[in-house]
């Protein structure tokens, strides 16, 4: 799972964001009112609209009003200015949501008018558009929660935006007096097509690659560039000037230059926690995690009650595989802000890495109690359950994640992994194909598909999949080892030996089975001395679960070491 540190905002930036938040809520409240009016009308008249001209007229007028209202919301939302840098991600995602709803509203009006004219409508496109709009709504919810948290506003479990709207009054704005244009019926031709139902059966082995979940966080969404309009500066640059310059450069991914600007700000004001925080973000983006941690240490010393600083430090400790320390940091973050689902996710990831799966699962459950639509939490819980060999439950979690967003390749790969372990090989292959359709450059689904194909004795196809995985990551030792297994079963021992040799050269102590299988094939090819050495290496790295094979390997060493009597 990739975690990203969050940039911190100054008081002036927070003021801009609060102003933006007020305008954004006005548009959202207007949209919410119009959506409620539509739903009330549909509840009252939808069932009888094909039997009553009155009901049909009410439904069509309500659908047309909502169509116009969404267009107005799109227009008003795009007119909000300025958009502070910290709000850009929310603004972009909410714009996408309004546009998707607008497209759905057009299709919904078409259906209402088609029904009103006595013709059967075509629902598939409308249902798809509605599903896409609902997915966008959930993403908007998640981003809005994060935005409120950055502003220091209360974030309760549940629907944060709806909670805020209930507390917001837009009666004094011009939106309160908005009225639609009179409804004029306009039927549009609807293309009629028959969609054949799809059979979605994914089916699968052991030795699976598992992706950790990726939270809905990318570096850009947390950038705080200091806002659009810069006041004219008089006199020498002060700390705020250099800080804002650093934020602007970070937003452009020019992190080396950003670090220099933050340094200039800190020379002037070394107690500016925001500059330490954002310097850490840029250093992390450059892969300089030790230096980033030092920055967060400085920031925490200045402001030890800031949960975001603890989370950011945890992100960088996790990047260095210092999982125990990362857990401690995320624990501090959740103590200070128990409603931050991403801090719970960060803690869960690192607990899973430490093999403490029951504790990790408890963290995922806390995150899901805050936001039941958190894909990272569903995927993370699935990974923890799979790590604990609870694959049936893991499958259920990955499926929940895919209900929210079916376009995330690692979740399909994770689902395929657990199905493989459950020996539901055909389903696993189907899941891997879905993952590869989204991201063909990911080695994990290629590897997992190879495992499933090998389990079905389709070894030539399995080898092709392992080759694809190795083309992406030539140091994937497990793929070399599994390719060797398939070559062995195709009676190609010399090629198999070459694959096992690559596997043990990359990870000599991680795959005891590769040493043992290499020895078997060397023995088969009459390469006695090499076989003895491979059996000895196997015994050296074997774990207790290999006890029976260790005994066999010792016996084979004795047999191969006995001199063969020569004929005289």
What residue segments make up the domains of the chain, in order of their start?
11-169, 207-225+237-370, 474-568
Among residues 280, 345, 346, the alpha carbon closest in space to that of 318 is found at 346
Classify domain 207-225+237-370 by CATH number: 1.25.40.10
Give the pLDDT score at 507: 92
Spell out the residues 6+ positions from residue 66 whose beta carbon is closer than 8 angstroms to its own: 34, 35, 37, 38, 105, 108
User: If you ran DSSP here, which 8-state letter would residue 181 be given?
Assistant: P
Q: Is 474-568 the same fold as 207-225+237-370? A: yes
Q: CATH classification of 474-568 is 1.25.40.10, yes or no?
A: yes
Crossing angle of the two packed helices 289-302 and 273-285, in degrees rounded to 10: 170
Residues 88, 81 contacting (CB under 8 angstroms)? no
Give residue 214's pLDDT. Answer: 36
DSSP state of 192: -
d(CA 319, CA 296): 14
What pLDDT, on a 0 to 100 scale, did the predictor assign at position 213? 42
pTM attached to this predicted model:
0.65
pLDDT in tens, the chain (568 residues): 445 555 566 677 778 888 888 888 889 888 988 999 999 999 999 888 888 888 889 999 999 999 999 999 998 998 998 888 778 778 888 888 888 898 889 888 988 888 888 777 767 677 777 877 887 887 788 778 778 877 777 665 555 555 555 555 555 566 778 889 998 875 433 332 222 223 333 222 223 334 444 333 333 333 333 444 454 555 678 888 898 888 888 878 899 999 999 999 999 999 988 889 999 999 999 999 999 999 999 999 998 988 889 999 999 999 999 999 999 999 999 998 888 888 999 999 999 999 999 999 999 999 999 888 888 899 999 999 999 999 999 999 999 999 988 888 999 999 999 999 999 999 999 999 999 999 999 999 999 999 999 999 999 999 999 999 999 999 999 999 999 999 999 999 999 999 999 999 999 998 899 999 999 999 999 999 999 999 999 999 999 989 999 999 999 999 998 765 554 4
pLDDT reported for residue 190: 31
User: What's the pLDDT at 199?
Assistant: 34
**Could you say which DSSP state residue 209 is in?**
-
């Amino acid at each position: 799972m990739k975690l990203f540190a969050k940039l911190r905002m100054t008081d002036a930036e927070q003021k801009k964001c609060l102003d933006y938040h007020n305008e954004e809520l006005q548009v959202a409240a207007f949209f919410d009112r119009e959506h409620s009016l539509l739903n009330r009308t549909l509840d009252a008249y939808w069932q009888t609209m094909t039997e009553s001209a009155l009901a049909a007229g009410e439904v069509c007028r309500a659908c047309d009003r909502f169509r116009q209202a969404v267009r107005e919301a799109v227009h008003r939302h795009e007119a909000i200015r300025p958009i502070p840098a910290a709000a850009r991600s929310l603004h972009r995602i909410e714009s996408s949501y309004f546009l998707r709803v607008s497209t759905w509203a057009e299709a919904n009006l078409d259906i209402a008018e088609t029904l009103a004219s006595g013709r059967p409508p075509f629902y598939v496109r409308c249902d798809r558009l509605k599903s896409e709009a609902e997915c966008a709504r959930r993403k908007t919810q998640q981003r809005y929660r994060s935005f409120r948290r950055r502003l220091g506003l209360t974030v309760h479990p549940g629907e944060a935006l709806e909670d805020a709207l209930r507390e917001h009054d837009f009666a004094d704005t011009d939106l309160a007096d908005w009225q639609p244009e009179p409804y004029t019926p306009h039927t549009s031709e609807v293309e009629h097509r028959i969609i054949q139902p799809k059979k979605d059966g994914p089916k699968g082995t052991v030795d699976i690659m598992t992706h950790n979940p990726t939270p809905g966080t990318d570096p850009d969404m947390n950038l705080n560039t200091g806002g659009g309009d810069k006041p004219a500066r008089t006199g020498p640059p002060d700390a705020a000037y250099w800080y804002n310059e650093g934020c602007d450069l970070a937003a452009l991914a020019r992190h080396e230059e950003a670090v220099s600007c933050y340094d200039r700000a800190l020379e002037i004001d070394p107690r500016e926690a925001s500059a330490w925080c954002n310097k850490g973000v840029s250093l992390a983006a450059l892969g300089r995690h030790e230096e980033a941690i030092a920055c967060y240490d400085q920031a925490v010393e200045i402001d030890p009650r800031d949960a975001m600083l603890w989370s950011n430090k945890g992100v960088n400790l996790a990047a260095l595989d210092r999982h125990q320390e990362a857990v401690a940091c995320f624990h501090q973050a959740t103590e200070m802000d128990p409603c931050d689902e991403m801090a719970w996710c960060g803690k869960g990831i690192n607990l899973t890495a430490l093999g403490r799966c029951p504790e990790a699962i408890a963290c995922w459950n806390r995150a899901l109690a805050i936001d039941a639509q958190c894909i990272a939490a569903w995927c993370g819980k699935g990974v923890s359950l799979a790590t604990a060999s609870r694959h049936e439950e893991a499958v259920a979690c990955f499926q929940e994640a895919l209900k929210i967003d079916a376009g995330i390749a690692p979740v399909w790969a994770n689902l395929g992994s657990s199905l493989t372990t459950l020996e539901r090989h055909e389903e696993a292959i189907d899941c891997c194909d879905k993952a590869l359709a989204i991201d063909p450059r990911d080695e994990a689904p290629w590897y997992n598909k190879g495992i499933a194909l090998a389990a079905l004795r389709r070894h030539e196809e399995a080898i092709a999949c392992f080759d694809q995985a190795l083309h992406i990551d030539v140091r994937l030792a497990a793929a070399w080892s599994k390719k060797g297994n398939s070559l062995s079963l195709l009676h190609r021992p010399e090629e198999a030996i070459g694959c096992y040799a690559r596997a043990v050269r990359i990870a000599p102590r991680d795959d005891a089975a590769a040493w043992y299988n290499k020895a078997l094939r060397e023995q088969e090819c009459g390469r006695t001395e090499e076989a003895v050495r491979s059996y000895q290496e196997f015994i050296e790295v074997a774990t207790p679960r290999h006890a029976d094979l260790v005994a066999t390997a010792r016996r084979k060493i004795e047999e191969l070491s006995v001199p063969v009597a020569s004929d005289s």
